[in-house]
């Protein structure tokens, strides 16, 4: 202990955190960063291999912690954390917010020498989804770095993954959700207006893409499935464009006309590889009950020939709760696997309303909104959401921080994490849809959650390597698995 205090320096405050740290995820990083900010020297204790929940050897776990820049010193614990605390006597001991309502053996020890026990999971930050770096260009699928540690932990390699992709052929997929038409307006920046502080641009190029649930359907078709897409459209040019484009992708369409709402169009004004402004043309009121009945009847007509139903919900009113519950009940009776992605465009979105899904893929913000929990650590949030929604697995996406996986392995609840694979993304807007589609198809094809999410992450990395929504193909993923750089996580 004297050696650790000598490393810290005279009159320096010491903070202490302990844990299993099987796979260091963003929740851990926030906790450790918070602890480091409350002292001058951060000591992290790695629990022994005998500790419940430990799945990775202690030496490897310590190596991972030592690689974190704001950790001053890491130590492998031989006994209980409170025993180490009693000897070191750190000024601050930090534990996750979820421990505040539990019994903490460190508490009497810390209080005995006048230290402080703090419960916090660190600050919640919602990063911008915009990682646009360049203007329209040819796709570059070779900026991906695949971590090696994760496949090692879960016992697979890239050849195994290519075999998993072959299982996608012939899957029968039904996509239900909000159609969006995305317009990218590339502009030449002229400068600042002399009359008022307004940025002046001139449009020089327009590109239009199918987005929303439409691109989920197109991705699934490109990855080898036989896809049907059900959505609501207006009587307008945007609907006719989407019908023509999805027809080219060989997606079967059931378009339900609602004259009270235009087809949703999102315009992105871009200059020098950056999005300056997005303008949304949409209506968000729920569709009428008679239209819900027509959609349900169509699902009843085809459900016997469906392997997988994907709800792609943007909360624009196409999937009212009664319709979701009716389709879910119908799919359950027929033994059809289901997945759901519900994007929060407002405070009213709730991914947990999709009950009994095999997969749900919320962002951190969406997961916390569903639980009204902005304090607990990420793993606790994922675990609670999985229980509330009755989901098989929860994937919490974290933008540039990667993602957190919470599922089951060998009959035990487990969590793991993956970093973002693409080191030079051009347009992050389509990452979630491609990940959700690929992961859900993998699960339907019998691929376990750990391999499936790795394939989904490769798909997302491919998608963000280009501007706009162009459907993925199975060959895109195979190419990346063969050529991408493999690194240690």
User: Which residues, other chains included, contact 40 with Cβ-Cβ below 8 Å and sequence gap of 6+?
Assistant: 8, 9, 12, 13, 14
Beta bridge partners of 358: none
The model's confidence at residue 185, banded by pLDDT at 50, 70 and 90, is confident
Per-residue pLDDT band at 412 (split at 50, 70, 90): confident
Environment class of residue 30 by beta-carbon count within 10 Å: exposed (0-12), middle (13-18) or buried (19+)? buried
Q: Mean pLDDT, to the nearest integer, of 14-18?
A: 96
Least confident of 181-190, 291-300, 316-325: 181-190
* Of the listed ranges 30-39, 70-79, 295-304, 416-425, the one predicted with least confidence: 416-425
Q: Which of the two residues, 35 and 424, has the higher pLDDT score?
A: 35
Which residues, including other chains, have CB under 8 Å from residue 145's CB and lie 6 or more apart? 421, 423, 484, 485, 486, 487
Q: Is the pLDDT of residue 140 over 60?
A: no
- Convert the pLDDT of each residue in 204-237 to its tens digit: 778 899 999 999 999 999 999 999 999 999 999 9
Element (H, E) at 223: none
| pLDDT average, residue stretch 147-170 | 92
The pLDDT value recorded for residue 407 is 85
Q: In the prediction, which pLDDT does 346 show?
A: 52
For residues 24 and 170, give the distance between their C-alpha atoms in angstroms, rounded to a whole number: 37
Cβ proximity of 408 and 425 under 8 Å:
no
| 171 Cβ neighbours under 8 A, 6+ residues apart | 220, 224, 225, 226, 307, 308, 441, 444, 445
Least confident range from 222-236, 263-277, 349-363, 371-385: namely 263-277
Q: What integer pLDDT is reported at residue 283 of this predicted model?
A: 87
Beta strands, E only, 88-151:
92-95, 116-119, 145-147
Q: Name all domains of the chain by residue range, CATH numbers in brackets.
A: 2-119 (3.40.50.620), 145-487 (3.40.1190.20)
Res. 486 pLDDT band, cuts 50 70 90: low
Q: How far apart are the first and last CA of the chain?
A: 31
pLDDT of 484 reads 65
Distance CA 431, CA 395 (A): 13
- Whether the per-residue pLDDT at 69 is higher than 60: the answer is yes
Q: Is the model's pLDDT at 35 over the cut of 50? A: yes
Q: Give tens-digit pLDDT for 337-352.
A: 999 999 875 546 789 9
Residue 124 clears pLDDT 80, i.e. is over it: no
The pLDDT value recorded for residue 485 is 62
pLDDT at res. 299 = 98
At 238-249, the pLDDT tens digits run 999 999 999 999
Higher pLDDT, 270 or 324: 324
**Is the per-residue pLDDT at 141 higher than 60?**
no
């Amino acid at each position: 202990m004297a050696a650790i205090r000598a490393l810290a320096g005279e009159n320096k405050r010491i903070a202490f955190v302990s844990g299993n740290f099987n796979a260091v995820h963003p929740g851990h990083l926030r906790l450790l960063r918070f602890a480091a900010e409350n002292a001058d020297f951060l000591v992290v204790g790695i629990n022994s291999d005998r500790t419940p929940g430990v799945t990775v050897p202690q030496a490897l776990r310590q190596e991972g912690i030592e690689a974190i820049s704001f950790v001053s010193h890491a130590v492998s614990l031989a006994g209980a954390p409170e025993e180490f605390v009693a000897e070191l006597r750190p000024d601050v001991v930090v534990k996750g917010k979820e421990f505040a309502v539990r019994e903490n053996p460190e508490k009497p020890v810390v209080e005995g020498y006048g230290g402080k026990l703090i419960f916090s999971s660190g600050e919640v930050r919602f990063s911008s989804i915009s990682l646009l770096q360049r203007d329209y260009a040819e796709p570059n699928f070779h900026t991906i770095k695949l971590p090696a540690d994760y496949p090692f932990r879960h016992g697979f390699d890239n050849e195994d993954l290519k075999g998993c992709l072959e299982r996608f052929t012939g899957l029968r997929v039904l996509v239900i959700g909000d159609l969006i038409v995305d317009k990218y307006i590339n502009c030449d920046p002229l400068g600042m207006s002399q009359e008022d502080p307004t940025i002046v641009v001139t449009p020089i190029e327009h590109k239009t893409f199918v987005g929303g649930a439409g691109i989920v359907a197109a991705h699934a078709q490109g990855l080898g499935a036989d896809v049907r897409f059900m959505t609501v459209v207006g009587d307008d040019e945007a609907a006719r464009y989407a019908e023509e484009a999805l027809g080219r992708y060989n997606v079967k369409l059931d378009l339900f006309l609602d004259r009270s709402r235009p087809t949703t169009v999102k315009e992105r004004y871009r200059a020098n590889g950056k999005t300056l402004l997005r303008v949304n043309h949409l209506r968000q009121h729920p569709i009428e009950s008679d239209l819900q009945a027509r959609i349900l009847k169509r699902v009843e007509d085809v459900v016997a020939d469906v392997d997988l139903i994907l709800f792609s919900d943007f909360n624009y009113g196409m999937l009212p709760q009664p319709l979701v519950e009716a389709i879910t009940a119908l799919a359950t009776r027929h033994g059809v696997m289901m997945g759901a992605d519900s994007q929060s465009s407002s405070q009213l979105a709730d991914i947990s309303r999709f009950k009994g899904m095999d997969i749900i893929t919320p962002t951190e913000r969406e997961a916390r909104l569903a639980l009204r929990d902005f304090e607990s650590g990420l793993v606790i949030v994922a675990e609670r959401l999985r229980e509330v929604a009755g989901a098989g697995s929860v994937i919490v996406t974290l933008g540039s921080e990667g993602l957190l996986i919470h599922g089951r392995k060998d009959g035990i609840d487990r969590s793991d994490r993956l970093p973002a694979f693409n080191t030079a993304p051009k347009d992050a807007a389509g990452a979630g849809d491609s990940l959700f589609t690929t992961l859900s198809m993998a699960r339907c094809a019998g691929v376990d959650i750990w391999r499936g999410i790795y394939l989904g992450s490769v798909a997302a990395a491919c998608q963000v390597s280009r501007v706009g929504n162009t459907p993925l193909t199975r060959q895109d993923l195979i190419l990346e698995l063969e050529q991408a750089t493999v690194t240690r996580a």
